[in-house]
């Protein structure tokens, strides 16, 4: 695994003066991603927070070339970029599709599924703030049970889609989950993905202080609690073989997890949400653990 010192020494790919909110973890996530992948990268970015915080024309805060594209089209535009590079005999440049959870889990799902099925050569990172944060925090397909958004003012009913497992069923060379609070884990996963041909998918949990309503200085802490409470499971699958990442391994034992309430207590989106909804969230988390650990056992 890459060391913190090594990360700090890497060139800064996100330039000063970008327009992200204070405490934004998606800008942090892209900073790590581009540190990991280097300068020979072309990005495809659909409508999402990153399409705003990169800054307005004629300037940009992202130091690699970026194609901004329509909401549902991050993966398909990246397929085109990748196809053009292949047609021109370029085997070196990395194509990075960088999209939010709305653009991936919901409106862009068919395009990701298509690109994955074709095994088009790219790394697709879905950075998830578990809502449509850019348009003012509406419910997305990745919003967890009970969470209050502007379209679920009484709390989200039902379960989110697990895009990572959906991608895993596509028989891909690499699928992983990560969290912006653990840069070494995320960077190591990206660098592993970069060595592989084909479609690589990473789901990056990116806590959003505006959408989740916690103080900006708690972004890293909240992300860590997501993992420590077991709400977000870190795992990776090389050629389909699922393995829990070291950071999540010990939380396979529910007794070692921090209580879900501790993860939610500083999040305004859960303020006043009833016990039944919190219980539904816990049931969802337990169900996810049983799926991932079962799949990890099969993979052994």
Partner 1 sequence: MTVSDNRPKSLGHDEPKTFIISGNHAAAYAAKMARVEVVAAYPITPSTGCIEKVSDFVDGGTMGANYIKVESEHSAAAALIGASATGARTFSSTSAHGLLYMAELVWWAALARLPTVMSIVNRELAPAWSIWAQTQDSMGLRDSGCLQYYCKNNQEVYDSVIMAYKISEHEHVYMPSLVCQDAFILSHTNAPVDMPAQKDLDDFLPAYEPKHFKLDPKDPVTHSSLAYPEHYRQKRMNIMESTHRAKQIIKDVCADYKKRFGKFHGDLLETYGIDKKTKHIIISHSSIAEEIEVSVDMLKNKGYDVGLIRVRVLRPFPDEELRELCKNIETIHFIERAPSYGFKGIIAIDTMAALFEGDARPKAFHHIEGLSGMDVTAEYAADLIEKDLETLK
**Residue numbers at the binding site for partner 1 (CB under 8 A):** 39-42, 44, 51-52, 54-58, 60, 62-70, 72-73, 75-89, 93, 110-111, 113-115, 117-118, 120
CB of 40 to partner 1, least distance (A): 5
User: Is the CB of 79 or the CB of 248 nearer to partner 1?
Assistant: 79
User: Is the CB of 68 or the CB of 138 nearer to partner 1?
Assistant: 68
Q: How far is CA 188 from the centre of its chain?
A: 15
Percent of the chain as helix, strand, coil, to the nearest 5: 45, 15, 40
Residue 130 is given by DSSP the state S
Tokens of 273: 């949400």
CB of 108 to partner 1, least distance (A): 10
CB of 20 to partner 1, least distance (A): 13
Peptide bond into 71 cis (omega under 30): no
User: Is the CB of 86 or the CB of 169 nearer to partner 1?
Assistant: 86
User: Is the CB of 109 or the CB of 238 nearer to partner 1?
Assistant: 109
CB of 37 to partner 1, least distance (A): 11
CB of 98 to partner 1, least distance (A): 12
User: Is the CB of 134 or the CB of 181 nearer to partner 1?
Assistant: 134
Contacts 24+ apart (CB under 8 A), 50-54: 50/26, 50/98, 50/100, 50/127, 51/134, 52/19, 52/134, 53/18, 53/19, 53/20, 53/21, 53/24, 53/26, 53/27, 54/18, 54/19
């Amino acid at each position: 695994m890459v060391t913190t010192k090594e990360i700090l020494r890497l060139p800064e790919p996100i330039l000063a003066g970008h327009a992200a909110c204070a405490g934004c973890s998606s800008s942090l996530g892209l900073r790590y991603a581009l540190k990991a992948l280097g300068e020979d990268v072309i990005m495809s970015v659909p409508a999402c927070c990153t399409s705003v915080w990169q800054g307005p024309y004629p300037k940009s805060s992202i130091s690699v070339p970026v194609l901004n594209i329509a909401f549902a089209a991050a993966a398909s535009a990246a397929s085109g970029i990748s196809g053009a590079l292949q047609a021109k005999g370029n085997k070196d440049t990395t194509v990075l599709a960088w999209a939010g959870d709305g653009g991936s889990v919901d409106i862009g799902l068919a395009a990701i599924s298509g690109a994955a099925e074709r095994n088009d050569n790219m790394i697709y990172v879905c950075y998830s703030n578990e809502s449509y944060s850019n348009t003012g925090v509406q419910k997305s397909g990745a919003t967890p049970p009970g969470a209050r958004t502007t379209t679920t003012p009484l709390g989200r009913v039902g379960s989110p889609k697990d895009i990572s497992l959906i991608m895993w069923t596509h028989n891909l060379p690499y699928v992983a989950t990560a969290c912006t609070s653990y840069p070494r884990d995320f960077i190591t996963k990206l660098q592993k993905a970069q060595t592989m041909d084909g479609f690589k998918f990473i789901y990056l949990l990116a806590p959003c202080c505006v959408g989740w309503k916690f103080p900006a200085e708690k972004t890293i802490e909240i992300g860590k609690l997501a993992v420590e409470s077991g709400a977000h499971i870190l795992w990776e699958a090389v050629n389909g073989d699922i393995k829990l990442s070291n950071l999540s391994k010990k939380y396979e034992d529910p007794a070692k997890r921090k209580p879900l309430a501790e993860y939610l207590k500083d999040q305004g989106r859960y303020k006043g949400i009833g016990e039944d909804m919190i219980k539904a969230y816990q049931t969802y988390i337990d169900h996810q653990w049983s799926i991932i650990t079962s799949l990890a056992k099969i993979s052994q």
